[in-house]
Structure 1
Amino acid sequence: MRVGLICPYSFDAYGGVQLHVRDLAEELIRRGHDVSVMAPAEDSTPVPDYVVPSGGSVAIPYNGSVARLTFGPVVGGRVRRWVGDGRFDLLHLHEPFIPSLSMLALWVADGPVVGTFHTSMERSRALRAISPVVGPMLEKVSGRIAVSSEARRTLVQHLGGDAVVVPNGVYADHFADAEPDPRWSATPGRPTVAFLGRLDEPRKGLPVLAAAIPEVLTLVPGARFLVAGRGDASEERALLARHGDAVTFLGGISDEEKRRLFRSVDVYVAPQTGGESFGIVLVEAMAAGALVVASDIPAFQAVLEQGAHGRLFRRGDPRSLARTLVEVLTHPQDAAPLRSSASTAVRRYDWSVVTTQILHVYDMVMQTARTPVREDPRSRTMYGRIRAAAERPWV
């Protein structure tokens, strides 16, 4: 099968969706499929051979984060050529309602289309405003996938329709087999706790962790906190400087370093305050054998199955986080059953399982398709296409 994958977010700076698209493409290729990925990326950005860069992107605040997107007539022409030249049996668009490559591809293509929805949000004026336009366009998506129940809820609530839930994937063995790093490993009397996330995105929860650390160090003075991630954290650094080497800022780390970090530490802490649709980083830490302590946002409750595979604390509450960390650091024997159940649970998220589920959706869509993907003749006048969609009745 020849599959065209579209990622709306730039490969210049990897995030969860980019990693999902990359790993899915490589797993499909490993299974013998012919795959081409189109994604925003500068010409100078190193990308895999199967990725076709669409050019630079613009940083836009979105859902408590910053999304790097691309749009416009020049990019639209590139998408049109990629679709026309690709002779794809099926297009798989990620976040097709985001104004970037996926939406452009949805406009210009006709034929078998699968869409994956990653976003989770409580309310969105922007989504409600564009739903009369985007809703009819999404009717071209024959198979819909949501990466979690939260992502499915967002789709149903804001755009209508429904989706089958297929989670994000992880190569579990890559984390389970990683070599621990002595710099990050615990020693007698010195347990280690790791945080990984964008330091300058408040929703990732670093301020919550920073406020909890002093209380933890008062009760567990030997604890070490390893803070990894890109972005400015001047306020947190200043707050925690008095604790010396008990708190270490690692900066950005590579994929290999991430695996070794999770394999080395006793606890991985996820203090996110919201905006998460899944929680792939929790699954990665679980696969590596770290005990996960996470905020009780719905996405994390689902991954940890209400605390069956890790510990939960009240979101946004530093004292609740501190108490939970003190409990797990002072009673390490209680973590063994949680780690054991977590190592079993993560197997359902392995790419060997997830890709098979995605291929089932592909098969369902292909069974109802009459022709391969081709250019939609209505797309030649893009603004006319938008106007027609807006005028079309939609419920």
Structure 2
Amino acid sequence: AARAGARARRPPRLAGGDRREHRRLRPLREALLPHGSRRRGLGAAALGLGAEPGGGRIGRGRACAHSGAASGARAVAACRRDAHALRRRTWPGYRRRCGGLPAVRRERPAHSARRRGGAPAPRAPGPRPGQRPQPPRGRPVGTGSSFTRRDGRRPPARDAARARALDSTDVRIALVTPFAWSQPHDVNEHVDVLARELRRRGHAVTVLAPSNRARDLAAGRRALLGAFDEPELIALGPAVPISRRSRMGVPVGVRASLSLALARGRFDVVHGFEPGLPSLSYLALRDAAALTAATFFSTERLGYPPGRAQRERLLARVDALLATSEDVAEAAAVRFPGRYELVPHGIDPELFAPAEKRNLVVFEWRQTERPLLRALVHELAQQPDWELVLLRTRTPASRPGVSPRLRGRMRVRTGRTGAARAELLRPAAIFVPAGEGLPRVVAEAQTAGAAIVAPPGRATQPQLAAAETARMIEDEAFRARRAAECLAAAQSQTAEVLADRVEEVYERLASRRRSHTTRSPFEERDWIVADLHLHTSWSHDCSIDVDELLDHAEAQGLGAIAVTDHNVFGGALEAVERARSRRLVVIPGEEVKTADEGEVIGLFLREEIARGMSFGDTVAAIRAQGGLVYLPHPFDRLHAIPTPATLHRHLAEIDVLEVYNARLLFEAYNEEALRFAGKYNLTPGAGSDAHVLAGVGTGAVRMRRFSGPEEFLVSLHDAEVLRRPKSLVYLQGLKWVAQAKERVR
């Protein structure tokens, strides 16, 4: 027994460089990894918010765990399957000694007792005194009787990997903004308008953002640790001012909160805004397992991440690229290449409904617009019935001086929110935008019915804008025509149009997903183990004879193999011929080198396919023979691989995606493939990619026995990935020794 008052022993750290739990490798038939296995990403960092004292901690980037029957590492592994595991794995004696939660936390209700409309909100049964709310055991988060919507209805059960396309309603969407929700910002206004419109259409929308408001932070913490009842806003942490060119990372606590929110929310779509900043948007798009979309607003917020490899990794996980203007799309395409779609700013037409116009000119003020201000003062000095308002839309550094020539008719106003700007723009007859102003303010002025001053050449000659302003003042018909044109243009910038465009994008992304049958028609057949990626001496870098490969495969207990030599088909034909008297099934294939986008394997081929064609032509040649398109090591960035745009373009033509290749140097490449296959419900495959006999069977799948390509594909839907990795240095050394012997001969 421990002495009274003795200091608690620190839990031992996990061994290993990556601090993960090490397990002894099982035999080939037992080391199973389901194709829908849990994804990494929540990890030990989530313990910073979700774990109770004693269940784990964060310290200098290392995860600690207790060494009991259920270690902290196992708790983290269970957390990846069910985010509420962080709430359940607690130290039993801690609460008994501490008397449960503090009195303030016990007395504070977890949710408001009434909704906005005044109706009482549905309440779940409260916990026992001193106990935090817990989800029912045995049920995943978001399903079952413990999860209710705000209107009292129970939502349909959802799976983490949703097999069907998105419905027109009831879609779970996460909108992630990098800017503090507690402070006005044009991007946050765009997000807020989009969220309200999508909620009006029946979707469950949650905004993930930083905030400096204590009330938001407390509510966000309750949502993460309590009942996740589709909150409208989750404040993940305080906002940290970071320069656009800064390489400072997001604080680990905020990253842990983001991981926990993504895990518990089980969103269908994660939409990040301005991901070109070191922010929550970038991390959410990088780590989310759901469908993703990214929206860019400014040509100046594109500097992150600085490394090309990081940008390519981000692009591989973003499914749709959006921009608010042509200029922004062109600038973003330089650093994030892809196909961009334009979306409106999303203006509330009721808030900016035109009012009775006054003789008022509103000028968006910037410090760099002093030449234009002098020209406007000169013109308005000759119009005694007109007023001038300088509108500051950013945090003012200094207040501009009021000209004596317009004394009593010139004012300076600050409008950082849409409501504040609406009071000035609705009665304004003329609006003069700043050269480096906010595009959203221009759309708001158009919606308010103001005539926009935007003559060609204004950037180099600001006097042209002042001259056009004077013409609008003197020519009422010209001003009315310009105002009518602006009102017509504003019809495409409303919140309803924005929601329509975004919904179309979401539906198109969801259509890429494939639906699989939940019941296999081959349940009565026996199980076999198949290695779907093997080479023989017909490949230029392999020395395994066909007979040796067949004998060794049978000795390893394999029931099927796919012979996929590099750019030759003779080895596969020879293997098929010599295996006719064996029980081993041989799938004839070829690993074809494309022009510049990696390799593609064709299974069940009849003849050889030439190398050097484009990715699309190679896929077409495989399908022309009735073969199956098997994409090997699609994210091995140490070699040539297809671009994200190519993968998305040919997604419907890929029959099997290799989610485990035993020869990859970094396991992260296999994890990326597993994430990609899970996102689109692609059929997973695995192979050893063996070039020596010792590597045969190190990667395989356990599937039902099949006959022909159709049965193979159906059986592979319910297959399980088998992993028995060996030292890559050892296997590569054997390969080099064999190649050296061949050169000596």
**How does the TM-score come out when normalised to structure 1?**
0.76
**Does 1:138 find its partner at 2:318?**
no
Relative to structure 1, the CA distance from residue 341 to residue 321 in structure 2 (aligned partners, 3 Å threshold; closer, same or farther) is closer
- Per the alignment, residue 471 of structure 2 pairs with 327
Take 1:13 and 1:341, find their aligned partners in 2: how far apart are those partners? 33
Check whether the contact 1:145–1:166 (CA below 8 A) recurs between aligned residues: yes
Check whether the contact 1:43–1:55 (CA below 8 A) recurs between aligned residues: no
Check whether the contact 2:450–2:486 (CA below 8 A) recurs between aligned residues: no
- Per the alignment, residue 493 of structure 2 pairs with 349
Aligned counterpart in structure 2 of residue 194 of structure 1, from 345, 350, 362: 362
- Choose 14-23 or 220-229, whichever is displaced more: 220-229
- Per the alignment, residue 187 of structure 2 pairs with 17
- Per the alignment, residue 10 of structure 2 pairs with none
Check whether the contact 1:120–1:154 (CA below 8 A) recurs between aligned residues: yes
Take 1:317 and 1:207, find their aligned partners in 2: how far apart are those partners? 12
Take 2:314 and 2:417, find their aligned partners in 1: how far apart are those partners? 38
Check whether the contact 1:228–1:253 (CA below 8 A) recurs between aligned residues: no
**Does 1:53 find its partner at 2:235?**
yes
- Per the alignment, residue 343 of structure 2 pairs with 166
Check whether the contact 2:377–2:405 (CA below 8 A) recurs between aligned residues: no
Check whether the contact 1:133–1:390 (CA below 8 A) recurs between aligned residues: no
Take 1:118 and 1:291, find their aligned partners in 2: how far apart are those partners? 24
Take 1:235 and 1:314, find their aligned partners in 2: how far apart are those partners? 24
Relative to structure 1, the CA distance from residue 330 to residue 23 in structure 2 (aligned partners, 3 Å threshold; closer, same or farther) is same
Aligned counterpart in structure 1 of residue 268 of structure 2, from 89, 94, 109: 89
- Choose 219-228 or 89-98, whichever is displaced more: 219-228
Check whether the contact 2:296–2:322 (CA below 8 A) recurs between aligned residues: yes
- Per the alignment, residue 363 of structure 1 pairs with 507
**Does 1:215 find its partner at 2:383?**
no
Take 1:22 and 1:392, find their aligned partners in 2: how far apart are those partners? 43
Check whether the contact 1:71–1:100 (CA below 8 A) recurs between aligned residues: yes
Task: Kindly state the Cα deviation for residue 271 of structure 1 after the two structures are TM-superposed.
Answer: 2.0
- Per the alignment, residue 400 of structure 2 pairs with 236
Relative to structure 1, the CA distance from residue 389 to residue 256 in structure 2 (aligned partners, 3 Å threshold; closer, same or farther) is farther
Check whether the contact 1:146–1:152 (CA below 8 A) recurs between aligned residues: yes
**Does 1:260 find its partner at 2:416?**
no
CA deviations on 1:277-334 (whole Å, 9 max, x unpaired) are xx2211211111111113xxxxxxxxxxxxxxxx555115332222222121122221
Task: Kindly state the Cα deviation for residue 83 of structure 1 after the two structures are TM-superposed.
Answer: 0.3
- Per the alignment, residue 551 of structure 2 pairs with none
Which amino acid is the alignment partner of residue 269 of structure 1?
V
Check whether the contact 2:322–2:340 (CA below 8 A) recurs between aligned residues: yes
Relative to structure 1, the CA distance from residue 221 to residue 62 in structure 2 (aligned partners, 3 Å threshold; closer, same or farther) is farther
Counterpart mapping for 1:242-321 below 5 A: 243-252=406-415, 254-273=417-436, 279-294=439-454, 311-312=455-456, 314-315=458-459, 317-321=461-465
Take 1:254 and 1:96, find their aligned partners in 2: how far apart are those partners? 23
Take 1:252 and 1:345, find their aligned partners in 2: how far apart are those partners? 23
- Per the alignment, residue 691 of structure 2 pairs with none
Counterpart mapping for 1:55-204 below 5 A: 55-62=237-244, 71-121=250-300, 126=303, 129-176=306-353, 179=355, 186=358, 191-196=359-364, 202=367
Take 1:325 and 1:45, find their aligned partners in 2: how far apart are those partners? 46
Task: Kindly state the Cα deviation for residue 17 of structure 1 after the two structures are TM-superposed.
Answer: 0.9
Which amino acid is the alignment partner of residue 467 of structure 2?
R
Check whether the contact 2:274–2:281 (CA below 8 A) recurs between aligned residues: yes
* SS of corresponding position for 2:321: strand
Task: Kindly state the Cα deviation for residue 393 of structure 1 after the two structures are TM-superposed.
Answer: 6.6
Relative to structure 1, the CA distance from residue 62 to residue 84 in structure 2 (aligned partners, 3 Å threshold; closer, same or farther) is same
Take 1:4 and 1:259, find their aligned partners in 2: how far apart are those partners? 28
Take 1:235 and 1:282, find their aligned partners in 2: how far apart are those partners? 22
Which amino acid is the alignment partner of residue 249 of structure 1?
V
Take 1:105 and 1:254, find their aligned partners in 2: how far apart are those partners? 26
Take 1:245 and 1:313, find their aligned partners in 2: how far apart are those partners? 32
* SS of corresponding position for 1:58: coil
Take 1:289 and 1:70, find their aligned partners in 2: how far apart are those partners? 43
Which amino acid is the alignment partner of residue 453 of structure 2?
V
The size of the alignment, in residue pairs, is 339
Which amino acid is the alignment partner of residue 114 of structure 1?
A
Take 2:272 and 2:445, find their aligned partners in 1: how far apart are those partners? 28
* SS of corresponding position for 2:400: helix
Q: Which runs of 5+ in 1 are unaligned?
A: 295-310, 372-387
- Per the alignment, residue 41 of structure 1 pairs with 211
Relative to structure 1, the CA distance from residue 211 to residue 370 in structure 2 (aligned partners, 3 Å threshold; closer, same or farther) is farther
CA deviations on 1:43-87 (whole Å, 9 max, x unpaired) are 336699611112222334449xxx9x9812111101000000101
Relative to structure 1, the CA distance from residue 267 to residue 115 in structure 2 (aligned partners, 3 Å threshold; closer, same or farther) is same
Take 2:249 and 2:390, find their aligned partners in 1: how far apart are those partners? 31
- Per the alignment, residue 374 of structure 1 pairs with none
Check whether the contact 2:346–2:495 (CA below 8 A) recurs between aligned residues: yes
Take 1:272 and 1:57, find their aligned partners in 2: how far apart are those partners? 29
Relative to structure 1, the CA distance from residue 176 to residue 252 in structure 2 (aligned partners, 3 Å threshold; closer, same or farther) is closer
Relative to structure 1, the CA distance from residue 252 to residue 52 in structure 2 (aligned partners, 3 Å threshold; closer, same or farther) is same
Task: Kindly state the Cα deviation for residue 127 of structure 1 after the two structures are TM-superposed.
Answer: 5.2
* SS of corresponding position for 1:219: coil
Which amino acid is the alignment partner of residue 254 of structure 2?
V
Take 1:75 and 1:147, find their aligned partners in 2: how far apart are those partners? 28
Relative to structure 1, the CA distance from residue 101 to residue 128 in structure 2 (aligned partners, 3 Å threshold; closer, same or farther) is closer
- Choose 326-335 or 252-261, whichever is displaced more: 252-261
Task: Kindly state the Cα deviation for residue 254 of structure 1 after the two structures are TM-superposed.
Answer: 4.9
Relative to structure 1, the CA distance from residue 226 to residue 390 in structure 2 (aligned partners, 3 Å threshold; closer, same or farther) is farther
Which amino acid is the alignment partner of residue 237 of structure 2?
G
Take 2:325 and 2:262, find their aligned partners in 1: how far apart are those partners? 29
* SS of corresponding position for 2:388: strand
Take 1:253 and 1:118, find their aligned partners in 2: how far apart are those partners? 17
CA deviations on 1:112-147 (whole Å, 9 max, x unpaired) are 1111122225x97x4584333222222101122122
Of the two, which has the highest radius of gyration?
2
Task: Kindly state the Cα deviation for residue 366 of structure 1 after the two structures are TM-superposed.
Answer: 1.2
Take 2:289 and 2:640, find their aligned partners in 1: how far apart are those partners? 20
Check whether the contact 1:36–1:52 (CA below 8 A) recurs between aligned residues: yes
Take 1:149 and 1:232, find their aligned partners in 2: how far apart are those partners? 29
Task: Kindly state the Cα deviation for residue 259 of structure 1 after the two structures are TM-superposed.
Answer: 1.8
* SS of corresponding position for 1:115: strand
Take 2:476 and 2:207, find their aligned partners in 1: how far apart are those partners? 44
Task: Kindly state the Cα deviation for residue 257 of structure 1 after the two structures are TM-superposed.
Answer: 3.7
Superposed CA RMSD:
3.1
Task: Kindly state the Cα deviation for residue 253 of structure 1 after the two structures are TM-superposed.
Answer: 6.1
Which amino acid is the alignment partner of residue 219 of structure 1?
Q
